[in-house]
Structure 1
Amino acid sequence: MAQKIKKGDTVVILSGKDKGKSGEVTRVIRSDDKVVVSGVNVHARHRKPTQVNPQGGIERKEAPLHISNVALADPKDGSATRVRFEERDGKKVRIAVKSGELING
C-alpha cells in the first residue's frame, strides 16, 4: 500500500504533550510505523564531556512519534485531515479528504 504520510509533508500532532502543534516530517521509519517531525517531541539528553565533545552539555533531539498520532495538514487551511487516493490522468495521487485538494508529493 502507498504511504499516506511522506517525508516533507506538513502534519498536525493529534495526541501527546505536543498536541495541536504542526511541523514538517523529516524522516519516516516504515518498519516501526513512526515519523520524526521537526520541532516536535524534542528530548534532552545530558552528555558528559568527552574527547570528541569536550564541552559536554545538553543535547536536544527530535524523537520519533507513532504515525497514528499525526495527521496530514490540509493544504487549504492547515487543519488535520485524512488522506484518500485517487487516479488522475493515469497516476495515483493523494487527496485531502476534508477539502478535496491535491497533496503535493
Structure 2
Amino acid sequence: MQRIKKGDKVVVITGKNKGGSGIVLKIMPARQQAIVEGLNKVTRHKKKDQTTKRAAKQSTGKVQQEAPIFLSKLALFDQKAKQQTIGKIKYVMDPKTNKKTRVFKKSNNTL
C-alpha cells in the first residue's frame, strides 16, 4: 500500500533536488516512482509531428518536463506542523462522514 498519493505535498529528502517540495502529479506503483510538480526537470528534444491535427498545439524544440522520482527519496510534508514526515500514516474513521481519513502518526494532523 502506498503512503504517497496523487495530490499530496511532498519534500525530496535525497538527491539533486534535496529540499525541494511540490505536489504529486502522478504515481507509478509498479515502478515505485512519482512525478512531482516542478521537480526533477529534464530537457526533451521534440520534433514537429506533421501527421496529426494536433501538431499545431504541440510544443516543439527543447521542452522542459518533469521526470519520475523514486518514492524512497520523497517524504510527506505536514503543512500544519510545517515539517516533513517520513513516519507512518494511520487511518482513522471520521465520525462525521464514516470514512477512513489519513492521519500523520507523529502530529495527529489529517492529510
Bucket of the pairwise TM-score, normalised by the shorter protein: 0.7 to 0.9
Structure 1: which 5+ runs fail to align? none
Moved more, 58-67 or 76-85: 76-85
Q: Are residue 44 (structure 1) and residue 43 (structure 2) matched?
A: yes
State percent identity of aligned pairs: 38
Q: Are residue 30 (structure 1) and residue 35 (structure 2) matched?
A: no
TM-score, length of structure 2 as denominator length: 0.77
Matches within 5 A, 1:62-101: 62-81=66-85, 82-88=87-93, 89=95, 91-101=99-109
**In structure 1, what is the Cα distance between the partners aligned to 2:77 and 2:15?**
17
Q: Who wins on radius of gyration, i.e. which is larger? A: 2
Moved over 6 A (4+): none
Q: Is the 8 A contact 2:25 2:36 kept in 1?
A: yes
Moved more, 23-32 or 72-81: 72-81
Paired residue total? 102
Give the letter aligned to residue 27 of structure 2: V
Structure 2: which 5+ runs fail to align? none
